[in-house]
Structures are given as C-alpha cells and as structure tokens.
C-alpha cells in the first residue's frame, strides 16, 4: 500500500508540478515517513518491558505467548496441597491394627521414604528409624500411594482411601496402611492454609475470574477448604489422569490457568491455557508450567495477571500510535509539507514515543 501511495504521489505531483525532482522528493518523503520501524517495535518493545518487570518482580515466563495469554484467562484452577496450603504437614494422629508397633513404624517409614509427596515426606520424617526394610520391589502409583513387596512376597500399601474403601467405612483419614489387602493402620496429618490464599481468591473474584479447587484429596477436606477461602467450585478425589481430563474440558469452555506444585499436577499444568507453578514445587511441575512464581507463594499471581493484561493494552496503544502517525504524516508528505530529511527525523521520534509508552509499563500500576 505504501509503495502504491508513493507511486501515486510521484505521478500526481509530476503532473501537477511538471517537475521531476520535486515530485520524486515528495514520493521519497512518503516512503521515509511510512518506514515501518514503529509498527515493528510496537509488540516486541511492550513484551520486552513486560517480561523484564515480571522477572524483576519474581515472575518467570517461559515465553512471550504466555504473558499475552494472561489477558484471556476467565477461570483459575488451584491444586490444594502445597499450593493453597503450605505443604508443611505435621502428624496429628495414627492407629495400628493387629501388628507389632515397632514393625508397623518400620513398614510405614520404609514405604513413605520413597515417595516425593509432601504427606509421605512428613510421615517418613516422623517415623524415621534405622531398621529399614529392604524391599524386593517398590512402586509409586500416582494419585494412589506407595506399593512395595518384601522378600517373603508380602505386599504392602501406603495410600489414600481408594486402597482401603473395601476394608473400612472410615474415609476421612489421610493415609491407610495395608498388608496383603488387610488394613493394619491409618495416619492423619494436618496442613496450614497459606496466609495469602484468601486474599488471592478474593482478588480473582473481584475481577470476575472463576476459581476452582482441583485436588486428589478427600471431598470433605476440599469442601472445607473451599468454604474457608470462598472458592466457587470443587473437584475432589481426582487422579492425575482425571485432572488432565478436567483441565481439557475446562479449556474447551473458557481459557483456563492451572496453579499446581506436585508431580501429579504436571500433565494438567502442561494442558492448561497457562500452567503456573511455584518455585518450591517439584522439578517436573516447574518444567511443565509456562509461568513460575518465585518467593514461595501465590502473592505474585495478581501481578502476573495484571502484567499480562497491561502488556497487551500497551501493544494496542503502540500499534494505534504507529498507524495514527502514518495516517496523519503520509498525506502531509504527499502534499510536499515535509522533506525526506525532516520526515526521517519525525519517523525517528515516533519510535521514541513508542519506546516511552512501553517503558511506562515498568512503573505503571497494574493491579
């Protein structure tokens, strides 16, 4: 279009002025004025500043697309353990059935020491013993628990109610211990809610963003936490594969962000429109997420959302000024009111305007 306008400018001015050089100079001025530097800078300048401010504030984006996608988010899904709660568990109660106490402690420690789950690590720390069982095989079944076989062929489990629902009606304990499909004990732990969790949920609701709790934990505990924090919807007792299916269905309805920290959350984090992990999360969760919130907490989530929306707004402002500048300046150059030299100066100033507008993002209030 610009080349066409430049050609029309030359032909019209040559006919009108009947002079080659002035007509050519006006045509060159149009081409200089329309140099697309400003339009080329509009997006990357804003994104560079947005990413820079995010990094300085403790928010790491893997790519520019995830920063821009924040503007579309309509619902945020939270994992429970280690995300909305601190993940620092303490043992509250336990019970042993038909088993020697010392032997039971040894079994529990020898099972849970091989798991990366925060509850398992808490239990292993509480029951630490030097007399460890040397298992024939061990396996961590995602969303269920730890399974091990000793040298005599006895099969032991330490896991959720899913492994014990045929053996007991008491569904409210955290971990059940089985030996050869027989219940030999259970363990309860308590976890603290992150101090900033309520504030974050309230902020999201004030922005008309739906909040969802997605957890493998029991329904009673999830419902209780959701009631305390004011979360809109609860999906509990979800295995990693079910979490993935849930995120897929939510994505199909609305752009969705997922906040999680565990190995079980990794597939869902990768599937979400934006996967968000915490800096103290498992390595697999960090690698699967597009955004990592540093400083061990959710406090930076509103800033990440605000930066995403304001970066996109800055891009639109930059593009507007770039096009507005051309729409005004090209006719002025075509009628001979700007020389190529002065046009080059004005064109350079347009780049400066866009740069200044982008730099405002460093200091602008985005929350």
Domain contains 51 = no
Which residue is associated with the tokens 């009631």? 227
Domain co-membership, 183 together with 219: no
Domain co-membership, 265 together with 329: no
Query: Which residue among 134, 157, 190 closes a domain?
Result: 190
What is the distance between the alpha carbons of residues 83 and 285, in angstroms, rounded to a whole number?
12
Domain co-membership, 79 together with 201: yes
Domain co-membership, 285 together with 198: yes
- CATH classification at residue 238: 3.40.50.1000
Domains: count for the chain = 3
The range of the structural domain enclosing residue 25 comes to: 2-44+308-362
CA neighbor of 165 nearest in space, from 137, 144, 146, 151: 144
Contact (Cβ atoms closer than 8 angstroms) between residue 79 and residue 211: no
Query: Which residue among 190, 208, 230 closes a domain?
Result: 190
- CATH classification at residue 131: 3.40.1110.10
Domain contains 52 = no
Domain co-membership, 73 together with 171: no
Which residue is associated with the tokens 């709790």? 213
CA neighbor of 218 nearest in space, from 149, 285, 170: 170
Query: Which residue among 269, 299, 329 closes a domain?
Result: 299
Domain contains 267 = yes
Q: Is 32 exposed, middle or buried (0-12, 13-18, 19+ CB in 10 A)?
A: buried
Compute how many other C-beta atoms are within 10 angstroms of the C-beta atom of residue 240. Answer: 18
Domain co-membership, 9 together with 72: no
- Whole-model pTM: value is 0.77
Domain co-membership, 198 together with 264: yes
Look up residue 8 and give its two tokens: 């029309």
142 phi/psi in degrees, rounded to 5:
-60, 130
What is the distance between the alpha carbons of residues 254 and 249, in angstroms, rounded to a whole number?
9
Q: Of the residues 18, 79, 181, 217, which is catalytic?
A: 79
Domain contains 211 = yes
What SS3 class is residue 90? strand
Domain co-membership, 248 together with 283: yes
Tens-of-pLDDT digits for all 367 residues of the chain?
A: 888 988 998 999 889 888 898 889 988 888 888 777 777 888 899 999 999 999 999 999 998 899 989 999 999 999 998 899 887 888 989 999 988 898 999 999 999 998 888 889 889 999 998 888 999 999 998 878 999 999 999 999 999 988 999 999 888 888 999 999 999 999 999 888 999 999 999 999 999 999 999 998 888 889 989 999 999 999 998 888 899 999 999 999 999 999 998 778 889 999 999 999 988 777 888 899 999 998 767 999 999 999 999 999 999 999 998 888 888 888 888 888 888 888 788 778 888 888 999 999 999 999 8
Domain contains 367 = no
Domain co-membership, 101 together with 174: yes
Longest dimension (CA), the chain: 110
Domain co-membership, 313 together with 343: yes
Known catalytic residue at 79: yes
Residues 6+ apart with CB under 8 A from 281: 82, 260, 261, 262, 289
Domain co-membership, 152 together with 181: yes
Contact (Cβ atoms closer than 8 angstroms) between residue 32 and residue 347: yes
Domain contains 101 = yes
Domain co-membership, 238 together with 293: yes
């Amino acid at each position: 279009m610009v080349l066409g306008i430049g050609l029309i400018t030359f032909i019209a001015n040559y006919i009108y002025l009947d002079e080659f050089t002035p007509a050519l100079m006006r045509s060159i001025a149009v081409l200089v004025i329309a140099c697309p530097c400003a339009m080329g800078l509009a997006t990357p300048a804003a994104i560079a500043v947005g990413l820079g401010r995010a990094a300085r504030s403790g928010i790491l984006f893997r790519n520019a697309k995830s920063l821009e996608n924040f503007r579309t988010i309509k619902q945020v899904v939270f994992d429970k353990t280690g995300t909305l709660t601190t993940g620092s568990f303490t043992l509250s109660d336990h019970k042993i059935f038909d088993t020697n106490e010392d032997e039971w402690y040894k079994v529990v420690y020898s099972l849970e020491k091989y798991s990366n789950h925060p509850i398992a690590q808490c239990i292993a720390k509480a029951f630490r013993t030097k007399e460890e069982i040397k298992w024939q095989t061990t396996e961590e079944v995602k969303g269920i628990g730890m399974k091990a076989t000793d040298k005599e062929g006895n099969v032991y489990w330490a896991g959720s109610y899913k492994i014990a629902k045929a053996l007991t009606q008491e569904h409210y304990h955290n971990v059940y211990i089985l030996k050869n499909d027989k219940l030999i004990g259970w363990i309860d732990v308590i976890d603290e809610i992150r101090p900033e969790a309520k504030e974050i949920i309230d902020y999201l609701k004030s922005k008309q963003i739906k909040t969802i709790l997605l957890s493998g934990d029991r329904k009673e505990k999830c419902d209780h936490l959701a009631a305390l924090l004011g979360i809109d919807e609860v999906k509990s007792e979800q295995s990693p594969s079910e979490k993935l299916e849930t995120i897929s269905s939510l994505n199909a309805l609305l752009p969705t962000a997922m906040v999680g920290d565990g190995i079980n959350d990794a597939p869902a984090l990768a599937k979400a429109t934006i996967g968000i992990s915490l800096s103290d999360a498992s390595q697999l969760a960090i690698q699967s997420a597009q955004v990592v919130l540093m400083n061990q907490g959710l406090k930076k989530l509103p800033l990440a959302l605000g930066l995403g929306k304001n970066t996109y707004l800055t891009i639109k402002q930059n593009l507007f000024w770039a096009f507005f500048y051309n729409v005004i300046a090209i006719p002025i150059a075509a009628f001979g009111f700007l020389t190529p030299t002065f046009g080059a100066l004005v064109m350079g100033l347009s780049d400066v305007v866009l740069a200044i507008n982008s730099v405002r993002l460093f200091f602008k209030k985005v929350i």
